[in-house]
Copies of this chain bind each other. A is one copy, B any other.
Amino acid sequence: MQPLVLKFGGTSMGDVERIQRAARIVAAERAGGRPLCVVVSAMSGETDRLVKLARAAGAERPEGPAVSGHGFDDEYDVIVSTGEQVATGLLALALRQLGVPARSWQNWQIPIRTDGHHARARIQSIEDGAVGTHMDSGEVAVIPGFQGVTQDGRITTLGRGGSDTSAVAMAAALRAQRCDIYTDVDGVYTTDPRIVKGAQRLDRIAYEEMLELASLGAKVLQTRSVELAMAHRVVVRVLSSFIEPGVAQIGTLVCAEDEVKMEQRIVSGVAYSRDEARVALFGVPDSPGVAAEIFGRLAQAGVNVDMIVQSQARREGAQNIVFTVTEREAQRALDAVRAGASIGFEEAQVRRDVAKVSVIGIGMRSHAGVAHTMFAALAAKGINIEAISTSEIKISVLIDAQYVELAVRALHTAYGLDAAA
């Protein structure tokens, strides 16, 4: 029988009681007879505690001359990875308390190999032989998420949120039937239920849609894990770990487009992000190569640019260039364009009180008028659009931050996503 991978995040592993609840969920799943692999995060708060210790002992950028070949990240990984190690032991013990055979597997015991980029490593290969044999014999394998081991045997971590990625990678390696991600919500919603009461849980969502949602601020799944799931065709299910084990729940299935299409939706969800800043450059010379110069400098400075709008300025021979970045990168973006003396613009301006609202749906590919519905719905509420960007399955607009909730509600209604009252 194909195995099943289950993943429990930090809040689902928050304390011993929650770990015991996770154990009951695993025990209930085991009744189905499938070999089981459980990937766990560190108990919530634990990673932060360890990061703080590491920073206190080793300051992120050691002062003085660099000691050859010695940085911060390798030992940071040694320290921080212990959070998940503890979690594996605790869950294995909690499972045994329920009479379920279980054991922990550390990454070096499997091994799960990554590249050598400490603190942001990428999984390269998983040798699932021994784990698989144990799983086939009925023993639940409990594995720490978020980490791996290099070719020469040093501990790495995948970067924050990497546990989802570990789970999907393990599911791919084990050719699992499915990867169940247990989290603090019971699925993926058409939009944020805190803003729209009528938000509905989606039974299914395509990888591409989930990817747009994940990168647009819906924090259910980590972007990299969705990319990996799509690449390996791993079916992912998002479920709540806060429902009593045994109570049936459907969750949301993240799967290939052709398995979703039958639902015939045009728009699957409305997402928003407040973590936006709008940088405007006024009076940029209207000559070839200027845009290349600007965005080349931003790339060099490591700034990710999202939307870009170029428009004619009032003055002849000049144009205005507006782009958006995350709030954190706004100052860096400004510094980068100002440092480019050769660019020559009249004025630079940053606005942080902006937000991005997006509608996402694979149905857009085959339906016209989706953008019109969006613009009309926003206009009807008197909301001004400051920038637009589109992809095949997404339309995003930049608006004044104070209208975010209003815009999300209007769009949710306009696309017929509201639940029947």
Residues of A at under 8 Å CB distance from B? 16, 19-20, 50, 53-54, 56-59, 62-65, 67-72, 74-76, 78-79, 82, 85-86, 88-94, 96-97, 99-104, 106, 108-109, 153-155
Contact A70 B102 (CB under 8 A): yes
- 9 tightest A-B contacts by CB? A58-B93, A82-B82, A79-B89, A78-B89, A57-B90, A75-B89, A16-B56, A57-B93, A75-B92
Contact B75 A93 (CB under 8 A): yes
Instruction: Determine the distance from Cα of A75 to Cα of B97 in the docked complex, in whole angstroms.
Output: 12
Known: A78-B106, A79-B90, A89-B78. A57 touches B99 (CB 8 A): no
Partner of A101, one of B57, B68, B106, B109: B68
Partner of A93, one of B19, B54, B64, B153: B54
Known contacts A70-B101, A78-B104; 4 further A-B pairs (Cβ under 8 A): A16-B57, A53-B86, A68-B101, A79-B86
Closest B residue, CB atoms, query A81: B85
Contact B90 A54 (CB under 8 A): yes
Closest B residue, CB atoms, query A91: B57
Partner of A75, one of B68, B75, B100, B104: B104
Contacts of A62 in B (CB 8 A): 96-97
Closest B residue, CB atoms, query A153: B109
Contacts of A75 in B (CB 8 A): 88-90, 92-93, 96, 103-104
Instruction: Determine the distance from Cα of A377 to Cα of B88 in the docked complex, in whole angstroms.
Output: 58
Partner of A82, one of B72, B86, B153: B86
Instruction: Determine the distance from Cα of A102 to Cα of B102 in the docked complex, in whole angstroms.
Output: 36
Contacts of A74 in B (CB 8 A): 103
Assembly stoichiometry (copies): 2
Contacts of A97 in B (CB 8 A): 57-59, 62-63
Partner of A58, one of B79, B96, B100, B154: B96
Contacts of A94 in B (CB 8 A): 57-58
Known: A72-B93, A106-B78, A155-B106. A101 touches B67 (CB 8 A): yes
Instruction: Determine the distance from Cα of A154 to Cα of B92 in the docked complex, in whole angstroms.
Output: 14
Contacts of A90 in B (CB 8 A): 53-54, 57-58, 75, 79
Closest B residue, CB atoms, query A102: B70
Known: A96-B62, A109-B154. A70 touches B19 (CB 8 A): no
Contacts of A154 in B (CB 8 A): 109
Contacts of A57 in B (CB 8 A): 16, 19-20, 89-91, 93-94, 97
Contact A64 B103 (CB under 8 A): no
In the assembled complex, 12 residue pairs joining A and B whose CB atoms fall closer than 8 Å, in A order, are A54-B93, A57-B93, A59-B97, A70-B96, A70-B102, A75-B89, A75-B93, A78-B85, A78-B92, A79-B86, A82-B85, A106-B155
Contact A99 B50 (CB under 8 A): no
Smallest beta-carbon distance A39→chain B, Å:
15
Most B CB contacts (10 A, CB to CB) among A59, A96, A108 go to A96
Closest B residue, CB atoms, query A100: B67
Contacts of A58 in B (CB 8 A): 90, 92-94, 96-97
Contacts of A99 in B (CB 8 A): 64-65, 67
Contacts of A71 in B (CB 8 A): 96
Known: A75-B93, A89-B79, A97-B62. A70 touches B103 (CB 8 A): yes
Contacts of A20 in B (CB 8 A): 57
Contact A16 B53 (CB under 8 A): yes
Smallest beta-carbon distance A189→chain B, Å:
33
Smallest beta-carbon distance A191→chain B, Å:
38
Closest B residue, CB atoms, query A111: B153
Smallest beta-carbon distance A60→chain B, Å:
10
Contacts of A96 in B (CB 8 A): 58, 62, 67, 70-72, 75
Contacts of A19 in B (CB 8 A): 57
Instruction: Determine the distance from Cα of A102 to Cα of B69 in the docked complex, in whole angstroms.
Output: 10
